[in-house]
Amino acid sequence: MNKRALFSIALSFLAFPVLGQQGGEPLTKLQALNAEAPTPLSLKARERVFSALGALPADTDSFMVVNKLGLLAGKVQALVSPVPDLELAAELDSLAVGITTRTVQDLQRLQPLFQVLSAAQDEAAETWGAQANAAAARAIVAVQREQKAADGDKLVQATKDFHLAPIYLALTARPGGEMLLQQLSVLPLMLPMSTDAPIEMTVRSGWRGFCVHGSMLDLSAAELAPEHENQIQANLQKARLYVLARTVGNKLLLVICSNPDEVKIPARYADSALAAPQMAAFDSILPRNAWAVGYSSPTVVKLREELDFFDYQYAASFMERVFLRLAGENEACAAAATAVKSLLAAASQVLPAQQGAERVSVWEEDALYVHLVGGAGAQHFAPAALRYPARANAPATVFYAESTPVKGTPLLDIPALLDDVEAVQRGYTATLQPAPAREMESAMQRLQQYRPAMELLGTGFREWHANLAGSGALLLQETAPDSPLAFEFSFRGEFADEAAAAGTARLLQNGFAAAGPATSLRPTVETTGNTVLLSYGAASLGMAAPESSLHVPGGALFSLNLPALVRMLEKMDPHAQDSFVQEVLENARETGEYLERVDAAACISGDELHALIRLQNPGK
C-alpha cells in the first residue's frame, strides 16, 4: 500500500511543473473552469456536501475536508487487500481537519522545537565524523557544540509561555452512524496505553481525553547543555497539552490544545468554517460530485516550506562552518566554505518560495479530477501554439509533455554550479582519512571526466529554456516488439530565431560528442530554421509543424500511459537484471491495477498557477 500510494502521489506532483489528452481537453477544461463565475452557495448547500466543516470555527485559517467516507472506504477495499473492519466506515460521512490563525502563530513560535528535534541535526555530523581526519573531527565536534548552544537558546525562547491554540478534527456520520461515533470517541482514552509516561486522564464539560504535562517532554535526543535543558524544563513546568474528544449529534470532535477553554463549537452554520471567506473559491466545485477540498493560507504555506527546506539548510550550514574552522590551514577548505554557501543559494533560487495561498479540489465526473492552485509569483506562460496534443492518446505513447514558453523561471549557471561542486569535493576530501579520501578522489576524477559533457549539455538545455519562443514538446514512446530499442523519444523546440536555434543545437551536439564515441545509440540533434529536434530512435515529432495545432494564451499539457510504461520497462530489462528498472516496474504494475492514465494541464490565471490532473481508472 505504501509503494502504491507514494508512486501515485509522485505521478500527481510531476504534473504540476509541466503539465494531455487528445485535443488538449484538460487544458480546455481548466481554462473553462477558471472562466466560470461561481454562483455563491448557501451555507446549507455547503454543509450538505462537507458536513464536517460545520464543526470547525469560523476563524479557521487552513483546512482539509474529505466527503463520502463510506464510498471511499469501499473503493479502497476494492483496490487493495481488504482492511479489517473498514466496512464500518460506510456509516461515516465527512472528515475535516482545521487550524485557526492563532494556531498558526503558535506553530511559528514553536518552529525551532520541530527543527531542533529533527534527525538532520546529527546525521551530517555522524556521517562525516566517522571518516574525518583528526583535525576535521575536532572541528566537527566544535561546530556541533556551537550548534547545541544555539539550539538551546532557541528552545529557551520558543518554550517561554508555551501555548498551542486548538487543532480541530471533526468526523460526521450518516443517519444511523451515531453509535459508531460514540465508540470512536473512546480512542483518545486508549492512546496513553502505548506509553509508559505518566499521563493524566481528564473529563471536562462533556470532553474526555488526557493531558500531557510539559515536564514529560524528553529532550535527551537534542543533547542540550544542562543549563539550557534545565531552563526549558522550568519553562514547561506549567505547560499542558490536552487531547480531548466528544460527540455532538452526528459529529465527533477531536481537539489538541493547551487550554480547553479556548475550544469553540459552532452553534450555527454562520459561526463555522462553512461561512469562511475562502469557501467561496470552492462553490463551483461542490456541485460537481466533490470528494475533497483544502485550503492553506500564505502563512501556513511559508511555514511548511521552511520546515521542508530546513534539513538541506542545516546540512549546508553545518558543512560551511566546519570548513571555515579549517580554512586557516587549508586553502581547499576555505574555497569549499564559499562554494557550499553558493550551492545553498542556488538551491533556494531553483526552489523559490511559493507566493500566496494554496487550494486543492477533488471531484469525480468521467474520471477523478484534482485541481491545484498556488501562487505563480513572477512566472507565467507566454502565448503560443501547442503542436502535438493529438499524440497524447496514441497507443505507443508512454509520456507526452508540451508547454508554451515559461517566463520568469530562474536559470542556473551550469559551469559555475559545477565549479562549486568540485570545490566542495576538494574541501571534503582534504578532511578525510586516507582510505575514504582515496575513494572520494576517484569520484572526483569521474566527475572531471564527464564534466565537459555535463557542462555542454547543461548549458544547452539552459539555452533551450531561455530562448524558446514557441512550444516545446517531449514525446516518449514504446517501440515495436522486433525493434532493438526499448524506447524512442523526441524533444522539439521552436526558438526566437535561427541563430538561437543553431547555438543551442551546437551545444547539445558537442555535449553528446563529449559524452562518448559516436554510436547508433547516441541521440541526434537536427535544425531547420528556428526549430531544433533532439531524438533517439525514430524522429517521431519531426521537424515540420503539424497542419493542426492548439492555439492557447499560455499553458502546458502532460500525459502518462501506465500500461505502455509497463511494456516499455519490461523490454528495457527482459532478464530482470537491473534492480532500479525492476523497482520502477513493480511500482508501475501495482499502480496500473487502479490507475490507467494521468492527463493534466497547467495555466496561469491572474496571479495564480492552476493545474488540473485527470486520473483515469482501468476500464473507464
Domain ranges of the chain: 45-100+166-285, 298-356
- The CA-atom distances, in angstroms, between 137 and each of 182, 319, 321, 431 are 58, 12, 13, 8
**If pLDDT is split at 50, 70 and 90, which confidence band does 6 have?**
very low
Average pLDDT over residues 336-346: 91
Give pLDDT tens digits for 188-243: 777 666 555 557 777 777 888 888 887 776 666 667 778 887 888 888 888 888 88
Average pLDDT over residues 429-457: 90
Please answer whether residues 386 and 548 qualify as being in contact, where contact means their C-beta atoms are separated by less than 8 angstroms: no
- Helix, strand, coil: what percent of the chain each, to 5? 50, 25, 25
Q: Rounded to an integer, what is the distance from CA 32 to the centroid of its chain?
A: 26
With the C-alpha atoms ordered 86, 88, 91, 94, is the resulting torsion angle positive or negative?
Answer: negative
Q: Is the pLDDT of residue 18 over 50?
A: no
Average pLDDT over residues 18-32: 63
Predicted pLDDT of residue 2? 39
Average pLDDT over residues 118-135: 79
What is the C-alpha to C-alpha distance for residues 260 and 256, in angstroms, rounded to an integer? 9
Predicted pLDDT of residue 19? 33
What is the C-alpha to C-alpha distance for residues 253 and 209, in angstroms, rounded to an integer? 11
Q: What is the pTM of this model?
A: 0.85
Q: Rounded to an integer, what is the distance from CA 489 to the centroid of its chain?
A: 27
What is the C-alpha to C-alpha distance for residues 551 and 542, in angstroms, rounded to an integer? 19
Q: Is the pLDDT of residue 75 over 70?
A: no
Higher per-residue pLDDT: 438 or 202: 438
Averaged pLDDT score across all residues of the chain: 83
**If pLDDT is split at 50, 70 and 90, which confidence band does 13 have?**
very low
What is the C-alpha to C-alpha distance for residues 305 and 285, in angstroms, rounded to an integer? 27
With the C-alpha atoms ordered 514, 518, 521, 527, is the resulting torsion angle positive or negative?
Answer: positive
Lowest model confidence (mean pLDDT) among 280-289, 332-341, 370-379, 490-499: 370-379
Angle at 281 between CA 278 and CA 283, to 5 degrees: 115
With the C-alpha atoms ordered 157, 158, 159, 162, is the resulting torsion angle positive or negative?
Answer: positive
Looking at the chain, the whole-number percentage of residues with pLDDT higher than 70 is 87
65: cell is 475536508
Looking at the chain, the whole-number percentage of residues with pLDDT higher than 90 is 33
Nearest to 354 by CA among 391, 308, 319, 387: 308
Predicted pLDDT of residue 339? 94
**If pLDDT is split at 50, 70 and 90, which confidence band does 310 have?**
confident
Burial of 517 (0-12, 13-18, 19+ CB in 10 A): exposed
Q: Is the pLDDT of residue 525 over 50?
A: yes
